[in-house]
Amino acid sequence: MEKHKNLYHPVTIGSIKIDGNLFLAPLAGFTDPAFRFLCVQEGANLTFSEMVSAEGLARKSKKTSEFLVRADNEKRFAVQLFMKDAETAMRGLPALIDNSPDLIDINCGCPVQKVIKTGAGSALLKSPETIYQIVHALRGGTDIPITVKIRSGWDSSSINFLETADAACQGGAAMITIHARTREQGYSGTANLEHIKTLKHFSSVPVFGSGDLFSPSAALQMITETGVDGVMFARGAIGNPFIFSETRYLLETGEMPPETSQKVRAEAFISHLGQCINMKGEKAACREMRKHAGSYIKGFPGASEMRKEIVQASTRKDYEQVLSAWMDLFMDSN
Ligand X SMILES: Cc1cc2nc3c(=O)[nH]c(=O)nc-3n(C[C@H](O)[C@H](O)[C@H](O)COP(=O)(O)O)c2cc1C
> Which residues have a catalytic role annotated?
110
- Would you count residue 185 as binding ligand X (CB under 6 A)? no
Distances (CA, A) of 186 to 22, 53, 109, 179, 285: 23, 20, 9, 10, 29
Instruction: Using CA atoms of 151, 64, 70, 270 in order, give the dihedral in degrees to the nearest 10.
Output: -90
Q: Candidates 9-17, 102-110, 273-281, 287-295: pick the segment binding ligand X (CB under 6 A).
A: 102-110
Closer to ligand X at the Cβ: 36 or 149? 149
Q: Candidates 62-70, 93-101, 211-219, 251-259: pick the segment binding ligand X (CB under 6 A).
A: 211-219
* Sequence-distant (≥ 6) Cβ neighbours of residue 50 within 8 angstroms: 26, 27, 28, 29, 30, 31, 32, 67, 80
- Three-class secondary structure of residue 311 per DSSP: helix
Q: Which of 213, 251, 293, 322 binds ligand X (CB under 6 A)?
A: 213
- Would you count residue 28 as binding ligand X (CB under 6 A)? yes
Closer to ligand X at the Cβ: 248 or 322? 248
Residues 31-50 that bind ligand X (CB under 6 A): 50
Q: Candidates 37-45, 209-217, 245-253, 299-307: pick the segment binding ligand X (CB under 6 A).
A: 209-217
**Amino acid identity for residue 254 in this structure:** G
Q: Which residues, in sequence order, are bridge partners of residue 194?
A: none
- Would you count residue 26 as binding ligand X (CB under 6 A)? yes
Closer to ligand X at the Cβ: 11 or 266? 11
- Would you count residue 207 as binding ligand X (CB under 6 A)? no
Q: Which of 71, 169, 174, 234 binds ligand X (CB under 6 A)?
A: 234
Closer to ligand X at the Cβ: 107 or 323? 107
* Sequence-distant (≥ 6) Cβ neighbours of residue 321 within 8 angstroms: none
* Sequence-distant (≥ 6) Cβ neighbours of residue 293 within 8 angstroms: 239, 269, 307, 310
- Window 75-94: contact mask with ligand X (x via CB under 6 A): -----x--------------
- Would you count residue 211 as binding ligand X (CB under 6 A)? yes
* Distance from the Cα of residue 100 to its chain's centroid: 19
Closer to ligand X at the Cβ: 203 or 210? 210
Distances (CA, A) of 43 to 76, 212, 237: 12, 19, 12
Residues 263-322 that bind ligand X (CB under 6 A): none
Q: Which of 197, 235, 290, 316 binds ligand X (CB under 6 A)?
A: 235
Instruction: Using CA atoms of 9, 235, 32, 288 in order, give the dihedral in degrees to the nearest 10.
Output: -150
Work out whether strand 175-182 and strand 16-18 pair parallel, antiparallel, or are unpaired: unpaired
- Would you count residue 212 as binding ligand X (CB under 6 A)? yes
**Amino acid identity for residue 234 in this structure:** A
Closer to ligand X at the Cβ: 30 or 244? 30
**At its nearest, how many Å lie between ligand X and the CB of residue 149?**
4
* Sequence-distant (≥ 6) Cβ neighbours of residue 273 within 8 angstroms: 285, 286, 289, 316, 319
Q: Which of 40, 51, 86, 175 binds ligand X (CB under 6 A)?
A: 51
Which residues in this chain contact ligand X in the complex, by CB under 6 A?
A: 25-30, 50-51, 80, 107, 109-110, 149, 179, 187, 210-213, 234-236
